[in-house]
Structure 1
Amino acid sequence: MATFLYVILVVALVILSTSELVIDVQPNVISPEITAQLVINCSVTNNQAQNIDVIKSLTLSRYNETIRDFEVMISLDLLTLNLKQLVQFKYSLISFGNVFISLTILHPTKSDAKVYRCSVNGDNSNERNISLFAKKAVEYETNSTALIEEIQRCKKVESKCQCSLQNNDSSSNYKRSRVHFSGSSEIIKERIETVTLNCTYQALKHQRNETSLQSLYILHEANGVIANINKGQPVVQGSNLKNAEGEIFDNESKDSYLQVTWSSLKFSESGKYFCEANVKHSDGRAERLSEMLILAVVSPTVDDLVKVVEKLLGQVDGDTKHIQENNQSIKNIKEELKIKEQNIISITADLNSTQQIISSMKEDITQNQQNISSMKEDLIINQENLKNVKEDLNIQQRNILSLEKDFHTHQQNFSNFQENLEIVLSNFSTALIEVKNQTDKEENQITSCRDVNSKDDRVVVTLASGLKVMCDTKTDGGGWIIFQRRINGKVDFYRNWQAYRDGFGDYDVGEFYLGNENIYILTSFTNFDLRIDLKFNYQSYFAQYTNFKLLSEKEFYRLKIGDYSGNAGDSLLYHKDMYFSTYDKDNNRDHRNCATEYRGAWWYDSCHHSHLNGVWGGRDPKGLIWDKVTNYDGSVSFTEMKIREKR
């Protein structure tokens, strides 16, 4: 066991000792016309760096003598593999992946002979930020010594690659065979000439199954992105472009391209333009290929302006001639249309005349047919009448004989009838006196609010049954018995079953509930209409229902209503055929006790769309709700529920 732990410790130490930040440049000496490319590799071996537990970013920089500091060229976020290129090169190739960046500069110049720095940034086990650096210098030589050393170096690696001196053109061809960037002209007259830039990507035959183009960009060194296209998406272009088009092909058997055309260029649009291609390899590596083009926008000369004016004048002459031809064509068309209109008018007049003749003939035929039908019907009726007259005559003869027999019988019965009539009249006189006395007594008693006439809108009376009620004498002709009224919130309507059965409240205060038992008795013997008057936000509303009644207490005062009318909306339909519920007697269909939850009493279902016995002034579903008017966040400020016998 100890031996095993020792082996593990040794392996860990070996890994840590071989884990380091590495920067490599090939070659480290560049010369004009000799060095075909400069390759800078920045990587972390074994995906680990000493003293760093979580590697966050990898950065490649080079020393800038102007600012006397290292200038970041490429930054790679290792958590997202998001690459940022901050310095553009005329010809370059960038590859990157997990903890490595590779930059290839084609045809390096003296300005590329710098000190290059590779930086790694991350956190240690204590979450402390740590950065490590590695540097390599690239020198620039113009003497023949560099040429000799380059030849010797090529011989050493002859088995792996060809001499860069011999393959100078092939490297350039490799680059150019993949990204091409061209313009219709490199010198453009300001605000006169139009320019077209074409950025294309060509996949090499041996790489078509190994690479995939992700996007193409055309950029300006100062103005940023001119246009771009991502795989599977349309072209995105700047606002001043006249035209932009492009396409990225999946199989790459065709060259993918991005082309922009725009006119009226300004001096500020001079400078370097870059064509960038972002390529993804099958092994997960990513490349960014770029090529540069320089455009110069110059002021037009007098000769240029004269040519433009001559061209415009020629276009104006051509347009004028074309307009004249169009005007003549329009004139000819108008004349032809005028002739055709006259022909149409003439044909229409002939058609109208013919239609009138046909209509007149149809009317005559129809009238004749009607006359014939009428004559046939009259003939049939006369035949039936004659038959009926004969039958009636026979019946009358038989009736006369029967009447003669009955007459003798009636004479005898009439004598008996006179005697009986005198007795009945005597008894009727006595009964009539008793009925008159009873009627006079009942006329002084009120049986309904329809019998009440008053100059006051509301009046409290006692019915013949002994029930004391408040009558509405004005609304819709009056005659209403008010059984629920709320105007000021002074009476608590959160009551138990017995209170709602027997009634509660104060007529003097103006708030009361007549009682379900009283309402049941009133509506049991005839048909009643129900009217509900409401006020909300200083507006008046009403809802009226036919065939209103409450069933008995055994049926929990079940609600029955008919058809709806009014301007308040039908918020009572939801409660039709529901049982009355209070907090101590839950009869609703919901698993909750709706009366307890909403602090009221009503014909709840699950639970309510209207709730006029709720909490006075409530601003939630516990309030005096009529959802078609108040929704569920307001209360009506006035409510009256009243009934009237239907005539």
Structure 2
Amino acid sequence: MAFFLSLALWAYLAFWSASELVIDVQPNVISPEITPQLVINCSITNNQVQQTDVIKSLTLSRYNETIKEFDDLFVLNSSTLDLKQLQQFKFSQISFGNLYITLTLNNPSQFDAKVYRCNATGDNAAETSISLFAKKAVEYETSSTAFIEEIRRLKQDKNNCQCSLRSQKSRLQFNGSSEIIRELIEPLTLKCSFTFFNDDNQKTSTLQSLFILHETKGVIAYINKGQPVVTAMEEVKSKNVKGEIYQNKLKDSYLQVTWTNLKLSDSGKYFCEAHVQYLEGRSEKFNEMLTITVQSPTLNDLVNVIQKVITHVEEDKASIQLSKQNVENIREDVNTHHQDIKTIRKEKERNKENITGIKEVLDTITHNMMSIRVDTNNTITMLNKDMDTNARNIKIMREDIHGNLTKLREDLDTNEQLQINLQKNLKMEVANISTDLSELRNQMVEELSEMRNNIERFISNVNSTQALYPKRLDKAPNSCRQVKSTKDRVVVTLASGLKVMCDTTTDGGGWIIIQRRINGELDFFRGWNEYRDGFGDHNIGEFYLGNENIFLLTSRKQQELRFDLKYKNRHYFARYSDFKLFGEKDKYQLKIGRYSGNAGDSMKRHHNLFFTTFDKDNDNDNNKNCADARHGAWWYDDCADVNLNGRWGRSEPDGAFWDNVTVWDSVSFSEIKIRENE
């Protein structure tokens, strides 16, 4: 049990340690003429903080000792990334992005040695506003003590790291392109990289930031977890600085700086510093040091540079010659375009004449609009008069209504008394009816007994008659194939007793129509039981035969299926060689065979699917009931390419559509029919 509790605690701490509000200052002690820059960074790691679901803004503030409050310096809107600057700084740079603000103050003074605050504002899961704060203080020293102590600390950390790195779980590497650089000739590249050795270290610690510093010039560049690289030297362009702190600790995190035109003053000790945060709350810094010497160039160095410059000049000459040729080509193109411009000018003159004609038409329209405005004003005047008359009539009607209400109240009082009398009479009538019903029930029992005897005698007589006449003279048809008529649609009763409408002409006739829609008079948005038993009227021409009847027809003999549609006065059909509908226990599953026709095989998607209504969901959509969404009933997938039982006359996804023909428009005629295979 203790193991699971500790495991849960570790997971909780690991999550929040990876997501926090951070404010960092470099350095935290400034001195006059020694500290070249002060960098204040306000950020949110992993784009979220504890107890806050939605982060609205990030604010960087500085403490004002006069009014004993924090003054807001910058406010970042997290949704629009708009930065509002509330105070101006003479020598500074500001950078910002997704949930971070970085302020760099050049040559900071005693006034800048304040307490800085980072404030994140947002909402929690209950949409309650929450503000979280993080603070860091910057101290001021008038002597060089702070700087000397920092260099001493870096050197001491360097010696300690060299002695103990072999036994530690992580390693910091600091490399330079060369330890000796020629002044104003050779570039310098410094790369600071951090490696995790051990799986345990990956679970209990995270790398928060990397810094590259100079012993006299301070911070050169740095990177915080989850934020871009920031350079603090004007000589170093942003494109020459790159770095990444990886969440995947299988990769080495790094910070790399490259700059040219180095001077003798750039000589000295450079430091690489890594800040690591552990799960239990403690933090640790790792340091490495390089000594870089910038030397004045020799005569040979200058000769080599001149040779390279001469080579570049020759290459530039060739490039200029090629550019001259390109200019000649462009000049020819310009002459061609000049001719085109003349043609366009002529066309413009013709357009001016057309515009003059259009202006005359507009003047006429303006005159007509003035006339319409006068007529409209006259109409409004008449309407105002009518409104005054109507107001008087409404006042008279209100008085009449008041009188009628008074009379109605009197009538209600009279009716209440009548209702009391009726209730008394009703109770008496109910008692009398109960007595009569008892007598009637006894009489009906006797009559039913006598009727049972008569029926038994009738059945006996019928059986005798059937024995004498075994063959029927007039046999009902078993299917519409046996029905012949001069009419193209005829209603018959089959030998099974099922009343159907037959199509006697289409494709040779013999079709049983199982669905028909011609004008939208009948609502097809119905439940499971109605689609099971069938609904509609053959006389009005709109009906659904019923899934149970269709199942019985297809279970007796193999059938083929046909759809006849009309859309924009054109006829379309789709025919399927085999058709079968399973019973209710199988959710009226649909099986169709090979397609032919001119409507497109839109039913292919619905093969092998189950029937769905708004009160019985058998479709493949886990998020909604397609019968509700499509306002119909069908063999829905998620949802449909065919929806012929949908809303009539709609041009939306809930219309009666056939995708290959109408897309989402509704058809203007629909018949679904089946026929026994020969």
Same fold, TM exceeding 0.5? no
TM-score by length of 1: 0.32
**Which structure dedicates a bigger proportion of its chain to helix?**
2
TM-score by length of 2: 0.31
Larger radius of gyration: 1
